[in-house]
Chains A and B, each alone.
Chain A
Amino acid sequence: AQSVTQLDSQVPVFEEAPVELRCNYSSSVSVYLFWYVQYPNQGLQLLLKYLSGSTLVKSINGFEAEFNKSQTSFHLRKPSVHISDTAEYFCAVKDFNKFYFGSGTKLNVKP
C-alpha cells in the first residue's frame, strides 16, 4: 500500500507571499498524483493532477505542482497567495484503483 506524507499540518503565510506545501509518497511505480482543496464544511475539490507527460502541472487559480520521480515528491506552490486560498489542502496518490490521501495541510493566509 502507498503512504502519503504531508509534513506540514499548518502553514501560516501573509497575503501576496509565496507558499509551498510539501507532499511525499512511498513509491513511484506508475502512480497518479493529485492535490485537492477543502473549504470548511465542504467536500474536496480537485485542484490539479499529474497523470503523465509534463512533470509541471498547473491549476486555473495560479497553483502549480511538480512531479519529481527521483524524490517521490509532488509539492504544491503558488507565487502569491490570496486570502481566498485559506483552506485545507490534501495530496493524494492513486495506485491501481485505490486512492491514498495525506493528512492534509491547513493554509492560513493572513492580511
Chain B
Amino acid sequence: NAGVTQTPKFRILKIGQSMTLQCTQDMNHNYMYWYRQDPGMGLKLIYYSVGAGITDKGEVPNGYNVSRSTTEDFPLRLELAAPSQTSVYFCASSATSGRAEGTETQYFGPGTRLLVL
C-alpha cells in the first residue's frame, strides 16, 4: 500500500491564481481530512469528509473548496490564491470512528508546501 499520497510536493502561485492539491489513499478509508500547518501554529482543519459525497467544514474553510466523488480521492481547491494561504498542507485519512480498538488512527500524507507571492 502506498498509504496517503499528495501532489504536488511544492508549488509557487501568484496572487489570484487557482490550483488543486491532490490527495489519494489506497486503504479504503471512509474518513479524509485536509489540514494546513503554519509555523508555530500546529495544524488547523480545513475540510473533512466522512465518506464519498459527504464533506463538511473544519476550523478554517474560507478560501478553499473540496469534493469527494470517490472513496480514494479528496482534492482541495484554492480558487483565488492569497498570501495568507502560504502554508504546508497535509491530507490524512482514517478507517473508522469510535472507541473500539483500531479506530481513530489518522494516516498523514507527506504534505504539499505552497508559497503564494
Partner of A43 from B42, B98, B108 at Cβ < 8 Å: B108
Contact call A90/B108, Cβ cutoff below 8 A: no
| Nearest CB in chain B: distance from A71 CB, A | 21
B74 within 8 A of A: no
Give Cα A104 to B35, complex, Å.
15
Given contacts A98-B48, A101-B42, A104-B42, contact A44 B103 (CB under 8 A): no
Residues of B within 8 A of A43 (CB): 4, 90, 92, 108-111
B7 within 8 A of A: no
Give Cα A45 to B104, complex, Å.
13
Contact call B44/A101, Cβ cutoff below 8 A: yes
B41 within 8 A of A: yes
Q: Which residues of chain A (32-69) have a CB below 8 Å from chain B?
A: 32, 34, 42-46, 49, 51-52
Contact call A52/B111, Cβ cutoff below 8 A: no
Contact call B43/A101, Cβ cutoff below 8 A: yes
Contact call B42/A90, Cβ cutoff below 8 A: yes
Given contacts A49-B105, A51-B99, A103-B42, contact A98 B58 (CB under 8 A): yes
Contact call B40/A9, Cβ cutoff below 8 A: yes
Contact call A44/B108, Cβ cutoff below 8 A: yes
Q: Report B's interface with A, CB cutoff 8 A.
A: 4, 31, 33, 35, 40-45, 48, 50, 56, 58-59, 90, 92, 97-100, 103-106, 108-111
Since A100-B59, A102-B42 are in contact, a sample of 15 more A-B pairs with Cβ atoms closer than 8 Å, ordered by chain A residue number, is: A6-B42, A32-B104, A34-B104, A43-B90, A43-B108, A43-B110, A49-B104, A52-B99, A97-B48, A97-B56, A99-B45, A99-B106, A101-B42, A103-B42, A104-B42
Q: Report A's interface with B, CB cutoff 8 A.
A: 1, 4, 6, 9, 32, 34, 42-46, 49, 51-52, 90, 92, 94, 97-104
